[in-house]
Structure formats: structure tokens, C-alpha cells
Amino acid sequence: MRILDFGKNTYQYEISFKFDCFSPERIGNLVKDLLVTKKSFSTVGKEQGTGLTVLTLGDGTESAPFFQLKVGADKVVLWAGWYATYEQWRRWRDSLLSETTALLEGIPIEMVRLLSSQQVFVIPIEKSKPYDQISELEPVWALFGRFIPRELLKRMGASLVFGDEEGNETLGWWPVGTGVAGETSIAFALNWNVLNSKAGLKENELAHVARFDRLLEAFHENYLSLLVKT
């Protein structure tokens, strides 16, 4: 599926744990395997502020998009962006999830705090449609117009979060700042706060990313595409 992409979309998958599960030795072995043996990445370093070990491939250009694996004592993060396409991200994410199986081997479901997937769409302002010109959203503007002056309805940063009754799963989207004039952005995310205890960690991971992909594509097709000029 073709996803709206003006070159700056970012993608992230994270598994976090309730306490420190990974020793420096275990992380070091993973780095050695992926950086030295398999040459899946080109550099390694520490992320400022978080102290996470970061393996990086690419430099954020069209010919070499960014792909990063970040590992800490209590989390594993896969991140890609800056000219990485949606399909490139999916292939790389799914491949690396298999690569990191050894790191996660033996960790019980009860130790997992969260599985999270997120995509951020970065959109030039000139590509955004005026909200009051989108017919599908007229019922929303009619409601908002009861208490918001019409001149303030030209732009909107909607933030919505949905969840099941037990709080096991949450889905939402919200505006995020880019720090660049002339840009707007929307983050779309799915969190699994409670995993399926009858399945293994790997099975939960695969089920989570498959569900996220389906929901992301439905969000893109039925909502985001209404807001953006193509």
C-alpha cells in the first residue's frame, strides 16, 4: 500500500519491560553479532539523554535512509525514518524482529510492560486541505462550531485516544512538533498494555505489528487521506 510520504515520515516499534532484563554482556553480544559478524549496521554509539546503545545504518539521505536499533537494560526499540519508505520499514522491522529473538529468549510474558508501534507523518503545510472544505468532516465542524469561532477552524490538531474497557489496548493519534516552519505532523500509535499470556513473546510481537499495520492502513485510507492534497 502506498502511504503518504514527503520524505520525513518516521516509524518506531518498542518493547519495554517492567524492570532491567538485559545485562551489558548480553547487549554486547548482540552488538557484536549484528555489527561485526552480520554487518547489519555500520556504526554503534550511545544515545544522549537515554544512554541506550544505538546501532545505526544509513545517514538520512534518499540513497541511505536511517535505520536504528536501540537497546537498553529494560527496552528494545526499532526506529527508521528520513526517506525510509513504509514498505522498507516493514521488511526491515520484520527481519530484525527475527534477528533479536536470541536477545529476548526466555523472557516471560509477565515481565513485559508494553508493546508499542508508532508512525509519524510529516506533512508540508501547503499540502494540508482547509478543514472546512472537507465534506466528510462537516458533522464535526457543526459540533465544534457551537463553541469555536469559525475563523479558528481553518487548522486543527486533533488528539484522540481510544481503548478497550479493561485497558489492555490503546489506539490514538495526535499532532507532534517538528521544529521546522511550514510543516505539520501527526503521530499514530498502538499500545498493547497487556499481552496474551497463552502465547509466547514472539507470537505476541508478530500479532501486535500485524494489527498495527492493518489499523494504520485503515487510518491512512479513511481519515488521513481526507486531510492531505495529493
Tens-digit pLDDT profile for the chain (230 aa)?
A: 688 888 899 999 999 998 888 888 888 888 888 888 888 889 999 988 888 999 999 888 888 899 999 999 899 999 998 899 999 999 999 988 887 776 777 788 888 899 999 999 998 888 877 776 777 777 877 888 888 887 776 666 678 899 998 889 999 998 877 667 778 888 999 999 988 888 888 889 999 999 999 999 999 998 888 888 77
Does the pTM of the predicted model rise above 0.95? no
Count of other CB atoms within 10 angstroms of residue 110: 8
* 6-34 residue pLDDT tens: 889 999 999 999 888 888 888 888 888 88
Judge whether 15 and 96 are in contact, CB under 8 Å.
no
Return d(Cα 222, Cα 214) in angstroms, integer. Answer: 12
* DSSP state for residue 166 in the 8-state scheme: T
Return d(Cα 82, Cα 36) in angstroms, integer. Answer: 25
Write out the H or E segment, with its range, that includes residue 18.
Answer: none
Judge whether 88 and 65 are in contact, CB under 8 Å.
yes
* 120: its cell numbers: 509519524
Classify 177 as helix, strand or coil: coil
- Report the b/e string of 59-89 with b at 16+ CB within 10 A: eeeeeebbbbbbbbbebbbbbbbbbbbbeeb
Name the residue among 122, 123, 140 with its Cα closest to residue 131.
Answer: 140
Name the residue among 97, 91, 88 with its Cα closest to residue 115.
Answer: 97
DSSP class per residue in 186-212: EEEEEEESS--TTS-HHHHHHHHHHHH
* DSSP state for residue 96 in the 8-state scheme: H
* 15: its cell numbers: 518493547
* 75-104 residue pLDDT tens: 999 999 889 999 999 999 998 888 777 677
* DSSP state for residue 49 in the 8-state scheme: T
Name the residue among 120, 117, 40, 26 with its Cα closest to residue 74.
Answer: 26
Return d(Cα 20, Cα 107) in angstroms, integer. Answer: 11
Return d(Cα 119, Cα 188) in angstroms, integer. Answer: 5
Name the residue among 184, 206, 204 with its Cα closest to residue 195.
Answer: 204
